[in-house]
Chains A and B, each alone.
Chain A
């Protein structure tokens, strides 16, 4: 009897939370996440960062602009490549559920939504970490980006925070995509918009004011700033502030993602149609 009580009490919920988290973490790359085949992952980690950085490095080289040097552009793009796995892959989870006809089942499931969606983001977080790490290695050793003594720790913290925050943003877009027919457009918009408004290739201050506001609404902007400051060996007081902004941007993204899912879930249950592809 005691066992029955325990299994229907809070302990059972906790167990269910971790189980949901783990099951989604290991199954999502094979089911609902987009572009998680091994060849795509290896390409995302090793090839895309290099070719993207190379492209913008040549453009910067041709422009011969001192402020936006090849090294500056390389670091920005190394960080920006995090969006491939964190945004493009994660936000397609909604499409996959709709396409496979499993969204209805998911919506009536009593499982924790946070465990469900955060679990799906775990592998993309790891892929994002690897992508940025490889990208920054290219930036330093191929494109001559500065790496201050003792910067390894701060860079690692910045990269981890960037990966978490960007996956949160990917989940947020996945939430919006629940209401849309497809997430591809949304994924593409934010995949590339970051290159323009997040200080990836030139400072955000160079942009018109509306685009600056847009830039400061994206976690990538804070991620790029934090990584640049870490590489330059900025003091902890400066880094602490940047990390705080980045973490806050990530938390807000996760919160909005959960909120969006709740809102659209209610709507789906009310209309019975939103979960269809």
Chain B
């Protein structure tokens, strides 16, 4: 293994470890990203009451998805902002390992903590439902769930990159929260949205990934017309584009810092 790869792997692990330790020191940040999904899950469950067992799955999947979205939007989006606020952006960027690996470590942990939030949402909603929810294809469900996490992480990395160049990160996070939930069809099939919104929705890999997850989990689900494999292919393609964009932006950020020696003013 080349020395640079070793260094990147170590950086990734160290970044994950630090993110975990920071989370354990102050775990309150799971609460904001968890309360809303639990509440939305219970509200949806109450609204869906009497509409059939499949609708309880909508509530659980939707709430779990929202929990992970919350962590992506707030946690991963803030992965770069925290460096800027603490004044550690330039020193971190001057380290020999590409900054992207540091951010990726934070994003990995944020996604995992979002998954914990999703599991808690599942327990709360299922406890309200009174009996466990069954999915016809548990293996496919788990695989697709992991796939959804990967697509969310890709979005998180792009947000982290984008937030380097904007003063409106907080605005996007807070004001855009419901817009993301609506646009990606967290709690309902995205085909219910007007046709003209589809290009925007489909630009986000989680939209396609969640649609695919519903195809696996909900019997008789009618989602996007191209079906399960079309969703998977689309999500893979958009995720690859997101990762490429993030890599390019972070490369540009590093170049910018080396040229100006400063990223705190933007």
Interface membership of B258, Cβ < 8 A: no
> How far apart sit A271 and B43, CA to CA, in the bound complex (Å)?
43
Interface-side segment among A50-58, A155-163, A219-227, A252-260: A50-58
| Beta-carbon nearest neighbor of B189 in chain A | A62
Interface membership of B47, Cβ < 8 A: yes
> How far apart sit A138 and B50, CA to CA, in the bound complex (Å)?
29
B175 touches A44 (CB 8 A): yes
- The residues of A with any CB-CB pair to B shorter than 8 Å are 35, 37, 39-40, 43-44, 47-48, 51-52, 54-56, 58-65, 68, 73, 182, 184-185, 188-189, 191-193, 195-196, 201-202, 206
| Beta-carbon nearest neighbor of A46 in chain B | B175
Question: Secondary structure at chain A's binding surface: helix, strand, loop or mixed?
Answer: helix
Q: Given the complex, which residues of B lie within 8 Å of A73, measured CB to CB?
A: 47
Interface membership of B181, Cβ < 8 A: yes
* A201-B46 contact given A62-B192, A185-B31, CB 8 Å threshold: yes
- Distance in Å from the Cβ of A71 to the closest Cβ of chain B? 14
> How far apart sit A12 and B36, CA to CA, in the bound complex (Å)?
47
Interface membership of B103, Cβ < 8 A: no
B188 touches A59 (CB 8 A): yes
* A64-B175 contact given A39-B168, A58-B182, A195-B39, CB 8 Å threshold: no
Number of interface residues of B (CB under 8 A): 33
Mark each residue of chain B from 4 to 44: 1 if its CB lies under 8 Å from any CB of chain A, else 0. 00000000000000000000000010011001100110111
Specify which of A43, A51, A63, A188 is in contact with B51 (CB 8 Å cutoff): A63
> How far apart sit A196 and B42, CA to CA, in the bound complex (Å)?
7
Q: Given the complex, which residues of B lie within 8 Å of A189, measured CB to CB?
A: 31, 35
Specify which of A51, A56, A60, A68 is in contact with B179 (CB 8 Å cutoff): A51
B28 touches A185 (CB 8 A): yes
> How far apart sit A89 and B181, CA to CA, in the bound complex (Å)?
22
- Distance in Å from the Cβ of B71 to the closest Cβ of chain A? 14
